[in-house]
Structure 1
């Protein structure tokens, strides 16, 4: 019985680890040309979709932006923490590549804890 429970627990951990591996966010140093062509400087927060499992999040800010991902049920929560933001500083684009989990059906984006809608959503 103990072996069976251990095997079930190990299987559950492996499945959880596999699901988490599919979901990731990383800041891009070099932005692909097709993404650059779709960025609009007038829109502060943008999402550019590339198929079902890749999206690019673009956020213009004069501060330093740190992303973090969480999930709640079928919702992906993208948290952007912005620090050191000055009104007089020029805004620069932060571009993140987001690898999506197909099981997640909704996305909520929080900037410093406040839910914010995308200004623009496009597809490649």
Structure 2
């Protein structure tokens, strides 16, 4: 009986440890939802567009290919965007979807190592049901 209780307590302890697992995700999207397309301003270099409390889109207008990196920090996220190559000199739209946790209070973006503020922060509602 003591072994069963010990195993049960160990299981509860492990389950409690796993409750702090982050749900942070960051991925480039190729197909932009129609409602989001209407909110994107191609004249702005860096935009943050909120879909819900935990889903946001980062839109970066830049020439060439972009290497990305994401780091979780104490209360926020650090996103690194580095231009790796310039192809034809024309700006391209790079759209990234992020899923956040309630613990993420700030998003800091560094472009080629320099902190960069968002040109705009806006919201959109995805009515497509996807």
- Judge same fold: TM > 0.5, yes or no: yes
Aligned to 2:93: 93
**Displacement of 1:62 after TM fit?**
1.0
Distance (Å, rounded) in 1 between the aligned partners of 2:85 and 2:12: 47
1:70 aligns with 2:71: yes
* Structure 1 residue 14: Cα displacement: 2.5
Counterpart of 1:27 in structure 2 is 28
Partner of 1:122: 122
What residue number does 2:19 align with? 15
Structure 1 segments unaligned to the other structure (5+ residues): none
Q: In the alignment, is residue 104 of structure 1 matched against residue 108 of structure 2?
A: no
Spell out structure 1 runs of 4+ moving beyond 3 A. 6-13
SS in 1 for 2:19: helix
Is the partner of 1:94 in helix, strand or coil? strand
Paired residues, what number?
118
State the Cα distance separating 1:13 from its structure 2 match: 5.5
For residues 25 and 70 of structure 2, what CA distance do their matches in structure 1 show? Answer: 8
Q: Please name the residue that 1:81 is paired with.
A: 82
Q: String of CA shifts for 1:81-106, please: whole Å, max 9, x gaps.
A: 211136x6101100011111111111
Q: Deviations for 1:48-75, whole angstroms, at most 9, x for unmatched residues?
A: 1011000010001112112221122102
The structure whose Rg is larger is: 2
TM-score (norm 2): 0.79
Root mean square deviation, CA, Å: 2.2
Provide TM-score, normalisation by structure 1.
Answer: 0.83
- Report which stretch shifted further, 43-52 or 71-80: 71-80
